[in-house]
Amino acid sequence: MTTTREIPPHITADRTLTRARRILREPFTAGTWRRFAYGVVALPVGLASIPLALIGAPAGRWQRRVMRRVLGEDAEGTFSEMHGGARSGLVHALVSLPLNLLTLFVTVYGWLIVPMNLGWPLRAGDDYSAAWGGPTFAGAWAFHALLGGIGFLLLMPWIGRGLTALQLRLAHRFLA
């Protein structure tokens, strides 16, 4: 005889409400904006680290310091123990360069879409009949505000979280 235990409806509703609150609050948390800041500064710091590491400067230490100050994360890995701490900054800067470039582009563009679409009437031309949500002005504005504005406002924190997690994985691997 098999019995299944059902979850009471009020518990399921509480979980759904908790998730909805988290999704709605996430764009306004400090963690989201720290990840945004790290997504913006990781590429310039990595690019500056390449020539500095080549002349023997402690580029890895600077990259770890930026990560610690912006994200509050310390790099804990084994690469520098195996390959020497002097090269870890150069290797990390070179390996993470494509990801940092992608993160910068996606982060800046994704967050710029929010005010651009919320303020769509300010950038719309005279003919909005061919715009998405058209042929009426109200339909075009509603479409841009809801999908492009509010939609990206709620989506960008999660995209930033994923990209930053990949950046941290590389840092933990190469910047110990």
Query: Taking the CB of residue 40, how many other CB atoms lie within 10 A of it?
Result: 16
State how far the alpha carbon of 143 is from the alpha carbons of 82, 131, 161, in Å.
54, 9, 26
CA distance 95 to 123: 39
State how far the alpha carbon of 113 is from the alpha carbons of 33, 43, 156, 160, in Å.
16, 21, 10, 14
Kindly state the helix (H) or strand (E) to which residue 55 belongs, with its residue range. none
Q: Are the C-beta atoms of residues 49 and 93 closer than 8 Å to each other?
A: yes
Q: Are the C-beta atoms of residues 38 and 108 closer than 8 Å to each other?
A: no
Over the stretch 131-169, which tens digit does the pLDDT of each residue have? 777 777 778 888 888 988 999 999 999 999 999 999 999
pLDDT confidence bin for 82, thresholds 50/70/90: very low
The DSSP symbol for 57 reads -
Q: Which residue has the higher pLDDT, 25 or 84?
A: 25
Over the stretch 14-62, which tens digit does the pLDDT of each residue have? 788 888 888 889 899 999 999 999 999 999 999 999 998 888 888 888 8
Q: Are the C-beta atoms of residues 32 and 157 closer than 8 Å to each other?
A: yes
